[in-house]
Amino acid sequence: MKKILLSAAVVTAIAFTACKNETKNEISDEIDNVQEQLDEQLDELSEVATESVESLEAIIKEAEEELAKAETVDAKQAATKKLNEAKAALATLKGEAISTANEVKEEATKAANNAANKAKEAAKKAEEKVEDVEKAAVKKTDELSREVEKKATEVKGRVIKSGGNN
């Protein structure tokens, strides 16, 4: 009887561990995929932003040099306009970079929350599976207990009958 109960406990533990490991692997894979996608997007954005910033900084430097060398009012106005446009474009780019970073952060947060929800759901399913296995083991144990009791009663009846025949 003890062996049966221990076997049932071992089966339950194995089932729970298997479900837990399966869930961990699935969630880990999903998190890795999301992380890879985010890394790729950030790398692409970083490259574009770096090129744009370098380009705008070169335009600003050029406009500042033109402004310093400008002798006429028209030349100073043209250089000032070029400088202001480049500075405005740089400020816009920085704003877009911040906005994009916030969007990436939101996506990462959504992905993390999604993974956490899936983990909770998988853990709940694993718990339900373990409960089902445990119920089945208890049911089987009860059936075996009744069968053992029945056999013991039969054997006891035979022993009593055969003891009375001596």
Render each residue's pLDDT in the chain as its tens digit; 166 residues: 445 445 555 555 565 566 555 666 766 677 677 777 777 777 777 777 777 888 888 988 998 998 899 899 999 999 899 889 988 988 888 888 778 777 777 877 787 778 778 777 877 887 788 788 778 777 877 787 788 788 878 777 777 776 655 5
pTM: 0.47
Domain count, the chain: 1
Half-sphere exposure of 35 (CA within 13 A, CB side): 8
Residue with tokens 């335009």: 59
* The two structure tokens encoding residue 134: 């445990």
Rounded to an integer, what distance in angstroms lies between the CA atom of residue 80 and that of residue 164? Answer: 124
Rounded to an integer, what distance in angstroms lies between the CA atom of residue 113 and that of residue 90? Answer: 34
* 1 Cβ contact list (under 8 Å, min separation 6): 141, 144, 145, 148
Rounded to an integer, what distance in angstroms lies between the CA atom of residue 144 and that of residue 4? Answer: 9
Rounded to an integer, what distance in angstroms lies between the CA atom of residue 131 and that of residue 42? Answer: 44
Per-residue confidence (pLDDT) for residue 81, from 0 to 100: 93
Per-residue confidence (pLDDT) for residue 11, from 0 to 100: 56
Per-residue confidence (pLDDT) for residue 1, from 0 to 100: 44
Rounded to an integer, what distance in angstroms lies between the CA atom of residue 40 and that of residue 28? Answer: 18
- Least Cα distance to 85 among 103, 61, 60 occurs for 60
Answer yes or no: are the C-beta atoms of 60 and 86 closer than 8 Å.
yes
Supply the range of the domain harboring residue 92: 2-164
* The two structure tokens encoding residue 106: 């939101």
